[in-house]
Amino acid sequence: MSAPFHRVDGALFVEGVSASSLAKDHGTPLYAYSRAALEAAYRAYVDAGPVKVHVAVKANSNIGVLGLFAKLGAGFDIVSGGELRRVLAAKGRAQDVVFSGVGKTVSEMRMALEAGVKCFNVESIPELERLHDVAGQMGVTAPISLRVNPDVDPRTHPYISTGLKDNKFGVAFEDALTTYRAAAEMANLRVVGIDCHIGSQITTVDPYLDALDKVLDLVDKIEGAGIRIHHVDIGGGLGIDYGNGDVPPHPTEFVRTILTHIAKRPAPRSREVWLEPGRSLMGNAGILLTTVEYLKPGAAKNFCIVDAGMNDLARPSMYQAYHGIEAVEPLSGECRTWDVVGPVCESGCWIGRDRELAVSQGDVLAVRSAGAYGSTMASNYNTRARPAEVVVDGDKVHVVRERETIESLYAGEHLVE
């Protein structure tokens, strides 16, 4: 079987459909995902050993994409009430949902308790107290774990590092045992596990093992205090190859290393192991197709101006992130070094810098590794409609998000009389 993204006579294909035909039939900018790539990435985790995978909805919240994972039996990691609604619309089960995030509101807690989510990952003592009060008002018991901040450096971009002392996430490691004791005394809470998430786009396993050792040492102390821990959630964050030289562990290798490391430690009883991957499930399963509008050679820089902007793909502007960029058809123009930039009225609107491309006006480019934190971070800045999204399944194309219309962007706005 061919790889999900491959070339036939020089032309880029997504499974059995040419990228050129996708751009022609659905317009650009366009997000295109491979069902085979999504499913293969999921199986790479679950086939490696006894782990429960909760898909990080923030990485790609399209209900068409989430629905594919729901069919495979995945759980989901959410950080808002809106994401819970998306999971349920995608036919995911509330009892497979983990609710993370530092700013849960009362209404979100009520929504999640009414739906019956599997676990709340609590990130502060005030949140613990609020959840206890809300659950008590509703006459229910909330299942909780504490997200513990182990102060481990994941060696990634500072904006996506989440496990250090100066990050906003989680309960401080030195406060965790006291907080677990307090939680165990709250009648409307039920302690079920422990959670840890140290960051994103992590390309080595060592930071995970460092964090895991600290968490498991803490588990011993918590259970020594008579509080049962049923699961250990080590979060997500495993990186992908963006084509810039990063070589992260394969998910199967990663899971087996984690499980082997846990097995080395004596434990009085077995515990479930949970994961919350996002980027490594969806990142390399999607591309962003964009059309070259103008070529603008200059004395200092050559600009390839495309119809996708920082509002469509924020990662380059926000994180100075690298994405591979290639023409979907065989090379058509003179090869030059181009900055691939978008139409948004900001100097920060760029997709790729100093790229060797042979392109002509009207060509379609594919921005690789755009399946995670692509469409989900898109905005309407400059009153630009967000792209359509499609899932390619063999030779079939499913439109899982229609392109927005300009009129829809101001439909809820009103003139002042």
Q: Give pLDDT tens digits along the chain (417 positions).
A: 579 999 999 999 999 999 999 999 999 999 999 999 999 999 999 999 999 999 999 999 999 999 999 999 999 999 999 999 999 999 999 999 999 999 999 999 999 999 999 999 999 999 999 999 999 999 999 999 999 988 776 554 343 344 445 566 789 889 999 999 999 999 999 999 999 998 888 999 998 998 999 999 999 999 999 999 999 999 999 999 999 888 899 999 999 999 999 998 876 568 999 999 999 999 999 999 999 999 999 889 999 999 999 999 999 999 999 999 999 998 766 799 999 999 999 999 999 999 999 999 999 999 999 999 999 999 999 999 999 999 999 999 999 999 999 999 999 999 999
Which residue from 400, 410, 403, 406 is spatially nearest to 62, judged by alpha carbons?
A: 400
Residue with tokens 């070094």: 337
Which H or E run contains 177? helix 176-184
E strand residue ranges, 235-298: 272-275, 286-296
Which H or E run contains 253? helix 251-263
Which residue from 151, 106, 155 is spatially nearest to 132, judged by alpha carbons?
A: 106
Rounded distance, CA 86 to CA 70, Å?
A: 12
Fill in the amino acid letter for 167.
N
Q: What is the DSSP letter of 116?
A: T
Residue with tokens 């434990």: 267
Distances (CA, A) of 127 to 124, 144, 232, 271: 5, 11, 20, 25
Summarize the chain as % helix, strand, coil (round to 5). 30, 25, 40
Q: Model's pTM, two decimal places?
A: 0.94
Domains in the chain and their CATH numbers? 5-31+284-409 (2.40.37.10), 101-275 (3.20.20.10)
Which residue from 142, 144, 162, 145 is spatially nearest to 153, judged by alpha carbons?
A: 162
CB 352 within 8 A of CB 323: yes
Which is catalytic among the residues 119, 304, 345, 349? 345
Fill in the amino acid letter for 124.
S
* Cβ neighbours of residue 412 closer than 8 Å, sequence gap 6 or more: none
Rounded distance, CA 124 to CA 103, Å?
A: 9
Active site residue 119: no
Rounded distance, CA 133 to CA 368, Å?
A: 46
